[in-house]
Structure 1
Amino acid sequence: MSKGLPKRSEDYSLWYNELVKRADLAENSAVRGCMIIKPYGYSIWEKMQAELDRMFKETGHVNAYFPLFIPKSFLSKEASHVEGFAKECAVVTHYRLKNAEDGSGVIVDPEAKLEEELIVRPTSETVIWSTFKSWVQSYRDLPLLINQWANVVRWEMRTRLFLRTSEFLWQEGHTAHATAEEAKAETLQMMHIYAQFAEEFMALPVVRGRKTENERFAGADDTLCIEAMMQDGKALQAGTSHFLGQNFAKAFEVKYATKEGGLEYVWGTSWGVSTRLMGALIMAHSDDNGLVLPPKLAPFQVVIVPIYRSVEEFDAISVKANEIILELRKVGISVKFDNRDTHKPGWKFAEYELKGVPVRIAIGPRDLENGTIEIARRDTLTKEQFELSTQPIAEKISSLLDLIQEEIYNKAYNFQQEKTTEVNSWEEFKEVLETKGGFLSAHWDGTSETEDKIKDLTKATIRCIPLDQKIEEGKCILTGMPSKGRVLFAKAY
C-alpha cells in the first residue's frame, strides 16, 4: 500500500499530496480548488468536531446556523472587513437557468438577475451581527455565546488539499458582551481552548500568541492565535480568536439597555478553526510509511488482523478476536476486526500502516496455542508478543494508547524546540532561515514597514508575538532600531 510513497526529505510537498490521496483522506473534485473529503478523512474530522463541540458547550456556547448567502450591502458596512475579504468573494448574480434556444445546453437566464448580489459566505460576522441586532435588547440578553459549524468559500488561486481550498469546513464562534473586559476574556479563553485541543488531542505543541497589526483579522481590534511547526520547518496557523471591539456592533447598530437605563453598544468576538487542522495533523506527525495518528483522533484505535490457512483456523481466531473486541469496547477503545478474505495479512498490515492506525493486533494459530497475540505500534513500528494471561488486554491496550499519545506529542514538542532559534543579526537571520528553518526568535522594531520589508526580502512573516514574550531591550535585526522583545518569524503555509 505505501510502496512508492515519496520521501519527505526529497519532496515534502509531493509526499503530503500523495499521502492525503493514498491514505483515503481526500481527493480533488470536479470543481477547481474544491475537495472531496473521503469517509476515512471525514471520520477524523468528525472526531475533531466532537471534541471541540464538547469543549465549546462546556464553556457555555450553543450552536446555531446562519445563511450561506450574505447580501452584498452587509459587507459594505464594516470597511476594513470588506477590504480584507473582497478579493476572495464568490458572488451570486442570478437565480435561474434556462435552455439555450440553439439547443447547446443550459445558460443563465438574463431576466433572472438579482436586485442585490449575494456573497457566498467567506465568514459570517456580517450576517450574524445583523441578526444579533434583534436578539440583543438589554443586559439580560448578554453574554450571547453562539457557535456555528458550517462551510465557507474563499476563492483561492493556488490550492492544496486541507491546507488551502476554495471551500472548506470549519466552526466559527461569534459572541456579544456587555463590556470590553468580558469580550477580551472570551477571546483569550477560546484561544486557550484551541491550544488545549491541539496539544491534548492532536498531540500538537503550539505557541500561543498575538498577531501583529499587519496579520490581524480584517475588522478586529486584536487577534490571538496558535502557531504550530510542521516537519519541513514551516509554520502553520492552527487557530485564531479575535477581539472585535465594537466595530461590528456599531456597523449593525447592536445596542443594549444597561442596568442603569442607558444604551450602549455591545463588544464582540469571533474565533474559528477549520479542516486546515487535518493538514496540520498529517504534516506534524506522519512519516515516509504513511499517516501517524494520535490515538485520541484515530477513526479506530486498534485493528485486529487474523492470520489463518483454513476455515477452522479462522473460526477459532474469530472467537478469540471477538473476546478481545468486547473487552476493549467496554473501556471505550474503538476497534476493527478485519475479517476480509479478499486480501492477505501482509497487504492489510501495509494498509493500516499507511492509514496510521495506532495499534495493530495479529492473531494466528500459534498464538491461540500459546495464549499470545502480536501487538504492533504504528508510531515506532515496533512489535511485541503479549501473553494474554499476564495482564487484562483492555488494561494493556489502554496504557499503550496513552503512551503512544504522549510520545507522539513529545516527539513533536522536541522537534519544535529544536526548530526554534534565537537570532540577533540580519545575516544570522537569513542564514538560519535558509539552512535550518523553523521559528526564528528575533527583535523587531514594531513597525509595519519593517515587517513588510522582511517579508519581501525573505518570505518570512511574523507568526506571532508570544503571549509569554520575554521583555528585553534589543535592536531590530533589520533596522537596528530599539526593540522591547522578541517575536517569532517563520516561513508558513
Structure 2
Amino acid sequence: MEDLKMAEQGVERMSVTDEIVAEKVSVTGAEAPEAKPKEKPKKAPKEKVVKDKKPVVHGGAQGGAKKEVKKESGLGLAFKKDENFGEWYSDVVVRGEMIEYYDVSGCYILRPWSYSIWESIKDFFDKEIKKMGIENTYFPLFVSEKALTKEKDHVEGFAPEVAWVTRSGDSELEEPIAIRPTSETVMYPIFAKWIRGHRDLPLRINQWCNVVRWEFKHPTPFIRSREFLWQEGHTAFATKEEADVEVHQILELYRRVYEELLAVPVIKGVKSEVEKFAGGLYTTTVEAFIPSTGRGVQGATSHCLGQNFSKMFDILFEDENRERKNVWQNSWGLTTRTIGVMVMIHGDNKGLVLPPRVAPIQVVVIPVPFKGIDPSEECLKVTRQLQEAGFRVKDDLRDNYSPGWKYSHWELKGVPLRIEIGPRDIENKQVRVVRRDLEDKTEGRSQDIPMANLVEKIGEILETMQKALLEKAREERTSCITVADNWDDFIAALNNKKMVLAPWCDEVEVEESVKARTKGEAGAAKTLCMPFEQDTLPMVSNTLPEGTKCFVSGKPAKKWALWGRSY
C-alpha cells in the first residue's frame, strides 16, 4: 500500500499494527465499537434486498456475465469492475453510501451522499433556466383517466408503465386515478385556461418532482427505477421558430450538466421517428455511453411537441390580428439517472470517483499520529482555512479507526482529495495531498504542499482533476465508436461492445428490421441519435459522400446514424 509507506522526508504515516487493522476492517461507514476496533463486522442481512441486489446491468461477457460466488473481503469492494460489472455497480452504490434498498422493488432510498449530488445538479440547472425567464411551479401527482387518455399516441407510449390508484381505504374509487409518468396531460388543460392572447405568451414553467413508471425490466438503481426524481419543463410559444430555439438552448444546458459538472462526455443529436417522444414533433437528446457494458444511455431529452397537444387540449391564443391559433409547445427533462451514469463512467475497483464540482466533500483531512503525537489540532486549522476559502471540506478525527482504514473509507466514497498531516508535516509546514482519480504509484497522485500556498494549490488540483476526468472519459468513449458501411461490420462492432456510426436511409421499417435481427439476450440494437455535431466525431465528416448506400437496405443513405444497444 504505497500511500501508507513512509514519505521521502522520513515521516512514518502508519504503524505496523495500524496496517494490519486496516486490512481487516470492513469499509461500511458504520462506527466501529470503541472497545473492539478489530472485531470482524457482521454480514449485512440479505433477505430484504434479494429482488434488487443484483440488477441486470449487462456487464461481463457477451450474452450475460457468468455467475460468481461473492468472496468475503475485509476491505473495499468484493467485485471488480472489469470482471463483473453488474455486481460491482450494485456493490459500489451501496457501500459508497449512495442508496439504501427498500422493500418495494424498483424503489430506492437516496442517501445524503447521492442526494447532495442531485442538489448540485439542481442548483446549476435551476439558476440557468431562471436566466432564460423560466419559472418554477408544482402540479399534482395524480392524473385523471380522462386527461391521461385524451392524447392517444402519448398514452400508448406510457400505458404499460402507468401506476393506478383504484382504492381509498376499503372503498373502490368511482374512477381510477393515475400517478404521473410525466405531466403533459396534467398541465395542458390548465394551459388552456391561462393562455388567451398573444400577450400571455411565451408561457414557460418547470417543476422539480418525482414520477412513477412501473418498469417491467430489471430495476437498476438510478439507471432504471420505478420512482425517480427529475425536472420537467413545459413551455408554450406563438411560433415554431421560438420553440425550436428553446429546444436547443435546453439541450445545451443538459450537455453542460454532464460535461461540466459530471465530467461525462455526451453526444447531442435528434432521435429517429421510432425513438422520439410519443405524440411529439421531434426529440433531441444527449447520449452517453458506458464502455464497460457497451451500452448507450439516453442522458436527457428536449422535445418539440409541435401543435399536437395544443390541438388536443384546445390551447389557443389570439394573435395581433385577432386570429385564433394553436400554440407551439416544448417539454424537456433531466433525471437522477445522471448520478448512475457518473458512477458507471468514473468508478473503479476502490469505489466511487466523484468529480470535484459535484462531490459533497471535496477534501477530507486525516491526522496521522506518530509516537504519541496527535496532529488533530493542525487538521482542524487546515479544515477551517479551506472552508473559509469556499471548499467543501471535512476532517476525520475519529480515534477508533486507523489512518489506513480512513484512507480506504473515503476512497470508497470517492472524495477527490485527501490531506494527510503527521508530526513531520507540521514541523516542515506542509501537508501531504493525495488524488483519488489516479491509480496507486501513478506520478502526481500524491504531493507535499507548503501550508503557505495550500488554498491556491488545492484549487488548482481540483480543477485539474475535473478536466482530467472528462478528458479520460472522452478518449475512452471515442475509442468505442466504430464506422460501418455494411451489415457484417455493423454486427461485429456491436458484438464488440461498440457504438456504430453507419449511413442510413432513415426509414422506420429499416430501423424496425435492425431491432428484430439483433434481438437476443444482450438486447436489440437501435438508433441512439443522429448526431448534430458530426464534425466533433473524428471518424466521419458532416456530409455523406455522394452515392453512399444504407448499411442495411442498400438504398441511398440520407444521414449518419449512431446505433447501439442501450439501457
TM-score range, shorter chain: over 0.9
Deviation at 1:342, TM superposition (A): 2.3
- Tell me which residue corresponds to 1:468: 533
Deviations 1:215-274 (A, max 9, x none): 001111100000011132211110000000111111111111212222211110000011
- Tell me which residue corresponds to 1:167: 227
Deviations 1:1-23 (A, max 9, x none): 35343112211111111111110
Letter matched to residue 150 of structure 1: C
- Tell me which residue corresponds to 1:19: 92
Kept after mapping to 2: 8 A contact 1:439/1:489: yes
Kept after mapping to 2: 8 A contact 1:206/1:226: yes
What is the 5 A alignment of 1:416-431?
416-431=477-492
- 2:417 counterpart of 1:359: yes
- Tell me which residue corresponds to 2:69: none
Deviation at 1:84, TM superposition (A): 0.5
- For residues 386 and 261 of structure 1, the distance between their equivalents in structure 2, rounded to whole angstroms, comes to 73
Kept after mapping to 2: 8 A contact 1:217/1:242: yes
Change (3 A) 1:421 1:483: same
- Tell me which residue corresponds to 1:101: none
- 2:450 counterpart of 1:388: yes
- 2:318 counterpart of 1:245: no
Kept after mapping to 1: 8 A contact 2:504/2:560: yes
Kept after mapping to 1: 8 A contact 2:77/2:351: no
- 2:500 counterpart of 1:440: yes
- For residues 385 and 23 of structure 1, the distance between their equivalents in structure 2, rounded to whole angstroms, comes to 26
- For residues 21 and 68 of structure 1, the distance between their equivalents in structure 2, rounded to whole angstroms, comes to 29
- For residues 467 and 186 of structure 1, the distance between their equivalents in structure 2, rounded to whole angstroms, comes to 16
- Tell me which residue corresponds to 2:174: 115
- For residues 449 and 225 of structure 2, the distance between their equivalents in structure 1, rounded to whole angstroms, comes to 48
1:313 alignment partner, SS class: coil
- For residues 141 and 324 of structure 1, the distance between their equivalents in structure 2, rounded to whole angstroms, comes to 54
The correspondence for 2:561, drawn from 472, 487, 490, is 487
Farther off after superposition, 322-331 or 116-125: 322-331
- Tell me which residue corresponds to 1:146: 205
Letter matched to residue 126 of structure 1: T
Farther off after superposition, 481-490 or 295-304: 481-490
The correspondence for 1:273, drawn from 323, 331, 334, is 334
The correspondence for 1:33, drawn from 106, 117, 123, is 106
- Tell me which residue corresponds to 2:432: 374
- Tell me which residue corresponds to 1:335: 393
- Tell me which residue corresponds to 1:399: 460
- For residues 10 and 456 of structure 1, the distance between their equivalents in structure 2, rounded to whole angstroms, comes to 29
Deviations 1:39-93 (A, max 9, x none): 2111111111111111221222111000000001001211110110111100111
Change (3 A) 1:33 1:422: same
- Tell me which residue corresponds to 1:257: 318
Farther off after superposition, 171-180 or 467-476: 467-476
Kept after mapping to 1: 8 A contact 2:77/2:349: no
Deviation at 1:309, TM superposition (A): 5.0
Instruction: For structure 2, list consecutive stretches of 5 or more residues without a partner in the other structure.
Output: 1-26, 28-74, 519-523, 535-541
2:557 alignment partner, SS class: strand
- For residues 313 and 260 of structure 2, the distance between their equivalents in structure 1, rounded to whole angstroms, comes to 38
- Tell me which residue corresponds to 2:128: 55
- Tell me which residue corresponds to 2:21: none
- For residues 113 and 260 of structure 1, the distance between their equivalents in structure 2, rounded to whole angstroms, comes to 51
Letter matched to residue 388 of structure 1: P
Letter matched to residue 562 of structure 2: L
- Tell me which residue corresponds to 1:186: 246
Farther off after superposition, 470-479 or 320-329: 320-329
- 2:291 counterpart of 1:219: no
Kept after mapping to 2: 8 A contact 1:27/1:161: no
- Tell me which residue corresponds to 2:354: 293
Farther off after superposition, 212-221 or 22-31: 22-31
- Tell me which residue corresponds to 2:143: 70
2:253 alignment partner, SS class: helix
Deviation at 1:345, TM superposition (A): 1.0
- Tell me which residue corresponds to 1:129: 188
Q: Which has a greater percent of strand?
A: 1
Deviation at 1:388, TM superposition (A): 1.5
- 2:376 counterpart of 1:318: yes
- For residues 387 and 39 of structure 1, the distance between their equivalents in structure 2, rounded to whole angstroms, comes to 31
- Tell me which residue corresponds to 1:156: 215
Deviation at 1:139, TM superposition (A): 1.3
- For residues 220 and 358 of structure 1, the distance between their equivalents in structure 2, rounded to whole angstroms, comes to 41
Farther off after superposition, 210-219 or 228-237: 228-237
The two structures have a TM-score, normalised by structure 1, of 0.93
- For residues 37 and 230 of structure 1, the distance between their equivalents in structure 2, rounded to whole angstroms, comes to 22
- For residues 242 and 341 of structure 2, the distance between their equivalents in structure 1, rounded to whole angstroms, comes to 31
Kept after mapping to 1: 8 A contact 2:493/2:499: no
1:392 alignment partner, SS class: helix
2:394 alignment partner, SS class: strand
- For residues 141 and 318 of structure 1, the distance between their equivalents in structure 2, rounded to whole angstroms, comes to 61
- For residues 331 and 266 of structure 1, the distance between their equivalents in structure 2, rounded to whole angstroms, comes to 49
Instruction: For structure 1, list consecutive stretches of 5 or more residues without a partner in the other structure.
Output: 98-108
- Aligned-residue identity in percent: 42
- Tell me which residue corresponds to 2:117: 44
Deviations 1:131-166 (A, max 9, x none): 111221211111111111000000012211111011
- Tell me which residue corresponds to 1:9: 82
Kept after mapping to 1: 8 A contact 2:144/2:176: yes
Letter matched to residue 543 of structure 2: I
Letter matched to residue 221 of structure 2: L
- For residues 94 and 65 of structure 1, the distance between their equivalents in structure 2, rounded to whole angstroms, comes to 25
The two structures have a TM-score, normalised by structure 2, of 0.81
Letter matched to residue 368 of structure 2: I
Name the count of aligned residue pairs: 474
- For residues 134 and 331 of structure 1, the distance between their equivalents in structure 2, rounded to whole angstroms, comes to 50
Deviation at 1:485, TM superposition (A): 2.2
